[in-house]
């Protein structure tokens, strides 16, 4: 399967714990995006990364949330000290060169985070 | 402030007929528009896109129309099939992040 791979598919955490969501982009893609979807809502942009660089984090809360895309390995979205409001589906997408308008973002199947 | 709006939360269409899903936007800087289809418990799947310099793009049963003056785009599916039943998201881009609408749930009735 050469698509965007996210794991885990489901993650349950208690309030105050840390959540780590992983994303491996499509083969050959070096641009990764994280989105969050609340129930009955559209996807909301969080952060855009290239290898070892955060390009745009304008949609990510300033506290408790961080993201990385190391030279080797998957992209990680980390949420520290989780609260009930963090419960959502988190989707990762990847693309080739986003400067070319005909390069759509391709999505993984998401991680459903539930906070007890 | 919702920059991309899908005003119909749901739509039901008979199998074989045309499905028309609508999307309005407010940001005139958007230069690229996309439609995604989403099944439950799966990620959005890219369907079709259109650049702001065009007014129509067709791919098989799917056609997207763009009316820049009205800041409106629509997705036409013809003929509709039961397998098309899903949530359809309109998305737009001015820089890199996509801005999504809230989606329209399409039900194609056999």
Contact A112, A23 (CB under 8 A): no
Helix (H, G, I), strand (E, B) or coil at B83: helix
Nearest CA in chain A to B2: A42
The CA distance from B91 to the nearest CA of chain A, in Å, is 9
d(CA A115, CA A16): 9
- pLDDT value at A98 more than 80: no
Inter-chain touch B46–A104, beta carbons under 8 Å:
yes
Separation of first and last alpha carbons in chain A = 33
Tell whether the model's pLDDT for residue B77 goes beyond 60: yes
Considering only CA atoms, give the Rg of chain B: 13
- The pLDDT tens digits for B33-74 are 999 999 998 999 999 999 999 999 999 999 999 999 999 999
Cα angle, residue A80 at apex, residues A75 and A82 outer, rounded to 5°: 115
How far is C-alpha B48 from the chain's CA centre? 8
Q: Which of residues 4-33 of A touch B (CB under 8 A)?
A: 4, 6, 31, 33
d(CA B38, CA A64): 29
According to the model, what pLDDT value does residue A114 have? 97
The whole-number pLDDT of residue B96 equals 73
> pLDDT tens, A35-74?
999 988 889 999 999 988 999 999 999 999 999 999 999 9
With a cut of 70, say whether residue A99 has pLDDT above it. Answer: no
Tell me which residue in A6, A56, A107 faces B97 most closely, judged by beta carbons: A56
Q: Are A15 and A82 in contact (CB under 8 A)?
A: yes
């Amino acid at each position: 399967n050469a698509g965007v791979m996210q794991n885990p598919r489901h993650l349950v955490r208690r309030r105050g714990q840390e959540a780590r969501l992983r994303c491996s982009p499509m083969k050959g893609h070096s641009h990764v995006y994280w989105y969050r979807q609340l129930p009955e809502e559209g996807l909301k942009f969080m952060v855009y990364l290239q290898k070892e660089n955060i390009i745009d984090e304008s949609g990510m809360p300033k506290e408790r949330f961080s993201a990385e895309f190391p030279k080797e390995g998957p992209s990680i979205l980390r949420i520290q000290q989780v609260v009930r409001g963090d419960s959502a589906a988190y989707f990762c997408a990847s693309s080739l060169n986003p400067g070319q308008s005909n390069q759509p973002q391709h999505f993984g199947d998401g991680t459903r985070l539930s906070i007890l | 402030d919702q920059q991309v709006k899908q005003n119909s939360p749901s739509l039901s269409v008979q199998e074989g007929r045309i499905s028309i899903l609508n999307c309005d936007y407010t940001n005139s800087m958007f230069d690229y528009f996309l439609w995604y289809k989403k099944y439950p418990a799966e990620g959005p799947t890219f369907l079709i896109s259109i650049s702001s310099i065009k007014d129509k793009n067709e791919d098989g049963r799917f056609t997207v129309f763009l009316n820049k003056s009205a800041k409106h785009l629509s997705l036409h599916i013809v003929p509709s099939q039961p397998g098309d039943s899903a949530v359809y998201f309109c998305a737009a881009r001015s820089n890199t992040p996509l801005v999504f609408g809230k989606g329209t749930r399409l039900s194609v009735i056999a």
